[in-house]
Structure formats: C-alpha cells, structure tokens
Amino acid sequence: MRAAVVCGLGGSLPPRIVTNDELAQRLDTSDDWIRTRTGIGRRHVVDPGTTTSHLAAEAGLRALKSSGHHTVDLVVLATTTPDRTCPGTAPTVAARMGLTDVPAYDVSAVCSGFVYALQAGAGAIAAGFAERVMVIGAESFSTILAPDDRTTSVIFGDGAGAVILRAGEPDELGALQHFDLGSDGSMADLITIRGGGAEQRSSGSPARPEDSYFRMDGKSVFFAAVRRMAESSRAVLAKTGWGIEDVDRLVAHQANIRIIHAVAGQLGLPPERALMNIERVGNTSAASIPLALADGFACGSLRAGDRVLLTAFGGGATWGSASLVWPALSSELTLPIENATPLLTAH
C-alpha cells in the first residue's frame, strides 16, 4: 500500500514582533493577564502589503528546499485568511513559487485546517493522483482582528508552515499513519466572520462594519476544544494501535497553553511531551501545527523515529488528529525560523 511520507518542512514568520506590553498600551489588558490565561508572550504580525500568499510561498519554498526536490504535483493551502474571498489563494501561492501549472486549492477549516489539508494531501498520494504534495498552513490573522477586541487581539498571530509529502511505504520513517477528522456545524457561531459571505449578501442588508471582523466565544471554544481534541486523539491512537505511552510528542494546535495542558491531562500524557511554541508566536490558526513542527525540529525536540500525535480544533466547528513517525530530515532547518534569511525577497 502507498503511504504519504513527510520529506520536507519549512516555516516563515513576518519580521515584526508585537509584545504583550505593546498591546497593553492600546487595549485594557496586561502582560500578566495574557501570559497567565494563554501562555502567549508575543506574536509576529504582517506589515502593510504582506498577505497570506507571501508567507505561504516563503514557507513552501523552505519546505521544498529541505526536501531536496524542485517541484510538487499538488499544492494544498489551509487558511482562514485568504488574500481574497475569490479566487482561492493556493494558485497565487503556487505561482509565487514558480509553479504555474500544478493543481492548487484552498482548505477552509480554520485552526484544524492543516490537519484537514494533510489528510487531503495524503489521500492524493494514496490514490495515486500525486507523487509529491506540498501542504501549507498560512495566516495573516492580524488582518481580520477587530483592533479594539482585547479577547482576540491578544491571542492570534501571523505566520506559515509547510511540509512536503512524497509517495512511500507505511513502515518508513516519516510515514503518516492514520487520521481522524470531524465537524459540528451547529457550532458555526462560536468562531466566525459574519459579513462578506453569501448569507449576509442575500439578506439584502448592508454589511455592518463590525461584521467584517473575526469574533469568538472564547469560553465555549475552550471547553469544546479540550473535549474534541482529546476524543479525536484517542480515536487516532486506537486506529494506529498506539497506547498513550507510545506517544513521544504531542503537537497540539497552539490555541492556549491551558488548552494544551488540559488535552495532555485528559489523555494521561506527561505535559513535557507536548511541544509548545505558543509563547513566541501566539495562536497562528492553520499555521500553528506546521510552525510548531518546524520549531520543534529546529530546536531538537523532534527526532527521527519519534512517534508523533497531531491534534487540532477550530471554527466550523472542526477537529482532526493524525499520527506519524518523525522522519530523518535534512538539517537545513537548524536555524530558528524567525532568524532565517528570506528566500523570496520581492513581494
């Protein structure tokens, strides 16, 4: 049976860093509140003119370089912040990388988007449609936050992460093992941008300015995220035939440090096995898991042969988990990604 094997990894963060203290200068919040309630110390934010496709292309090229390949047969982009409502952003990303004749499409599953996109990429390989797939999670989330909303402004950040998948064998290092995905559309209002879509346009009412921004019911999301990530993790572990003691690394969506600790707690996993980079980058939504993988690999927390459990929860509501055995990747990525020299200089 063909399996999808991870053979490349890359990340990209915009250079501008916004600290908690900087946010506290314009919002009724504090470094202490943000750190205690979320575990976040700072986040990267795009400068005017930079969009999701720029970050995605940079991460994608880094991943391609680390894989040693020059091209892919398919690009799948997970994002909540496409450059435009129409068309999709993936073809723009592919074109920015010089790939103007490959299939490329967007996946919209908010913070679960990367796991959904990974499953799509793995499925394309398993079906024999593609030999190599680039899967990217990318966000310029700061562009959809209401500037005066302290409950969302302190949490989200911008960035992108990408992996390259190639066709291989299920028992190889790097092979994706199993997936669990789910959704519950009755929770659509918990995480939403109300305006700008068909629902608002067909209502005949003009869009209210406040409806163009991202809104979240943080408390309800918190409890649903812990429950669904724990359940989904258990489901994928059962499919893989792993017990919780077999998991070397939990790479959970970096939503909130308390959410990650609660998921680890519910699973009975020692918290030190959970990989974290939320302090430095905040919640980067669809980019969060591949950025955590890139950081984990760069700092030596992910080693070839590690059994890795990925899990995420996001708007929709959506959730998903995946299991894989970590590959032996090239050491191209040993530099921390925030200090890396850009591969794409001109926007």
Residues binding ligand COA (CB under 6 A): 29, 33, 37-38, 111, 150-151, 154-155, 191, 216, 218-219, 221-222, 225, 255-256, 283, 313-314
Among residues 44, 111, 178, 277, which one is catalytic? 111
> Could you tell me if 109 and 116 are in contact, meaning their C-beta atoms sit under 8 angstroms apart?
yes
Q: Could you give the residue ranges of the DSSP H alpha helices within the chain?
A: 20-26, 31-38, 52-67, 90-96, 113-126, 150-153, 198-202, 218-240, 257-267, 278-281, 288-298
Decide if 111 is catalytic: yes
CB closer to ligand COA, 37 vs 234:
37
CA-based torsion, 296, 301, 306, 307: positive or negative: negative
Taking CA atoms, 119 is separated from 4, 114, 211, 259, in Å, by 9, 9, 32, 24
CB of 227 to ligand COA, least distance (A): 12
CB closer to ligand COA, 2 vs 194:
194
CB of 110 to ligand COA, least distance (A): 7
Three-state secondary-structure class, residue 92: helix
CB closer to ligand COA, 69 vs 258:
258
Other CB atoms within 10 Å distance of the CB of residue 248: 16
CB of 145 to ligand COA, least distance (A): 12
CB of 26 to ligand COA, least distance (A): 12
CB of 129 to ligand COA, least distance (A): 31
At 218, list the tokens: 């943080």
Which pairing describes strands 132-139 and 74-78: parallel, antiparallel, or unpaired?
parallel
Residue nearest to ligand COA (CB): 218
**CA–CA distance, 214 with 82 (Å, rounded to integer):** 13
Backbone phi, psi, residue 136, to 5°: -120, 140
Other CB atoms within 10 Å distance of the CB of residue 262: 19
CB closer to ligand COA, 27 vs 120:
27
* Closest C-alpha to 334, from 304, 292, 301, 300: 300
CB closer to ligand COA, 313 vs 326:
313
Other CB atoms within 10 Å distance of the CB of residue 10: 30
CB closer to ligand COA, 104 vs 252:
252
CB closer to ligand COA, 264 vs 333:
264
Helices 257-267 & 218-240 angle (0-180, nearest 10): 40
Find the angle CA(296)-CA(297)-CA(299) to the nearest 5 degrees.
70
Decide if 86 is catalytic: no
CB of 36 to ligand COA, least distance (A): 9
CB of 203 to ligand COA, least distance (A): 26
Among residues 54, 178, 253, 256, which one is catalytic? 253
Which pairing describes strands 176-183 and 104-107: parallel, antiparallel, or unpaired?
unpaired
Catalytic residues: 111, 253, 283
